[in-house]
Amino acid sequence: MLIAHLSDTHLMTPDTADDNQPAAQARVENLSAAVARVNALSPAVDAVIFTGDMAQHRAPEEYALAREILSALTAPLYVIPGNRDCRATLRRNFAADGYMSGEGDAPILYAIDDYPVRLIGFDSQSGFERKGDVDAAKMQWLDATLAQAPNTPSAVLMHHPPIPVYTSDYPWQWQREEAGNELASLFAAHPQVTRIFSGHSHRAYQDKLGDILVSTVPSIAVDLRLGDFEPQAETHPIFQVHRFDSDNGFTSETIIADNAAINNAA
Ligand SMILES: [Fe+2]
């Protein structure tokens, strides 16, 4: 199974960008380039995951724009909200794909059982600016959902990485210190969870939460990307492809969406 992992597009429209029009235009181009590169991957990916911060200002027109660009993906798309996102608007634009639970502003939680790896969408929004959190209801949902398929390899999508990102100036991005241990304890009872895919840190990073590898991807928005990258990547968005097979588990590859080869071939 091949999964393309995109995150943190922070899209703006001409109306929402105010005096930041060049960034708005660049971020649209970044997402469009990433979508084109994902579609051109060979072999083709089976699914695309998007780990949050789709829009910069929670504006409906920003989600409509995101939906329009992401609709070009040829593989099924699974999205979760980031701290920047409006759950209700995200739902309105993506619920027709049929996998999201709940309505309105309720947390977006789901399980996808269509692949060799079970994909668990887990909403880490806290209601506080920037930071993530879990509460009893979300933890109960996660525990019960994982208990439904204890023998199926599973990956959890959550915007906030439940680990300290030590290359960041603000390594711990959760409202409470205990959230990491609470999640680690829950996952320890569900050893079929082999990977957590996150965004939020806008950089590539990985570390373990208990026995589970947590990885973050660079922001698709190049102007917001953090960390050092090769000079040839400076103006191109970066995403990752995660490959799963039952013998080796997950391996991951970083893709620079320099689409010159695609454009020349077209
Ligand atoms: Fe972000």
Please, what are the domains in the chain?
Answer: 2-265 (3.60.21.10)
pLDDT digits (tens, 9 = 90+) for 56-78: 999 999 999 999 999 999 999 99
When pLDDT is cut at 50, 70 and 90, the band that residue 101 belongs to is confident
Distance 225 CA to ligand 1 centre (A): 9
Distance 7 CA to ligand 1 centre (A): 8
Residue % of the chain over a pLDDT of 90? 92
39-53 average pLDDT score: 98
Distance 224 CA to ligand 1 centre (A): 8
Distance 53 CA to ligand 1 centre (A): 5
Cα-based angle 50, 51, 56 (whole degrees, multiple of 5):
95
Distance 182 CA to ligand 1 centre (A): 24
Q: Please give the pLDDT value at position 113.
A: 98
Which residue shows structure tokens 């990102």?
165
Distance 246 CA to ligand 1 centre (A): 32
Q: Which of 102, 137, 3 is nearest to 110 (CA)?
A: 102
Cα-based angle 130, 241, 68 (whole degrees, multiple of 5):
65
Residue % of the chain over a pLDDT of 70? 98
31: which 2 tokens?
């997402």
Residues contacting residue 205 through CB under 8 Å, at least 6 positions apart: 161, 165, 167, 168, 215, 216, 227
Distance 165 CA to ligand 1 centre (A): 14
In the chain, at which residue ranges do the beta strands (DSSP E only) sit? Answer: 2-6, 47-50, 77-79, 110-112, 118-121, 154-157, 193-198, 205-209, 212-216, 238-245, 249-256
Q: Is the pLDDT of residue 253 over 70?
A: yes
Distance 151 CA to ligand 1 centre (A): 33
Query: Using CA atoms, how far apart are residues 81 and 160, in angstroms rounded to an integer?
Result: 10
Distance 247 CA to ligand 1 centre (A): 34
Query: Using CA atoms, how far apart are residues 213 and 199, in angstroms rounded to an integer?
Result: 14
Give helix 60-70 / helix 87-94 axis angle, nearest 10°: 40
This prediction's pTM: 0.97
Distance 199 CA to ligand 1 centre (A): 7
pLDDT digits (tens, 9 = 90+) for 194-235: 999 999 999 999 999 999 999 999 999 999 999 988 887 889
Contact call for residues 82 and 199 (beta carbons, < 8 A): yes
Q: Which of 124-133, 181-190, 236-245 has the lowest mean pLDDT?
A: 124-133
167-185 average pLDDT score: 96
Distance 52 CA to ligand 1 centre (A): 7
Distance 83 CA to ligand 1 centre (A): 7
Distance 189 CA to ligand 1 centre (A): 30
Q: Please give the pLDDT value at position 234.
A: 85
Distance 9 CA to ligand 1 centre (A): 7
Distance 55 CA to ligand 1 centre (A): 9
pLDDT digits (tens, 9 = 90+) for 115-155: 999 999 999 999 777 999 999 999 999 999 999 999 999 99
Helices and strands of the chain, counted as H and E runs: 6, 11
Q: Please give the pLDDT value at position 230.
A: 81
Distance 86 CA to ligand 1 centre (A): 13
Distance 150 CA to ligand 1 centre (A): 32
Average pLDDT, the chain: 95
Query: Using CA atoms, how far apart are residues 69 and 85, in angstroms rounded to an integer?
Result: 17
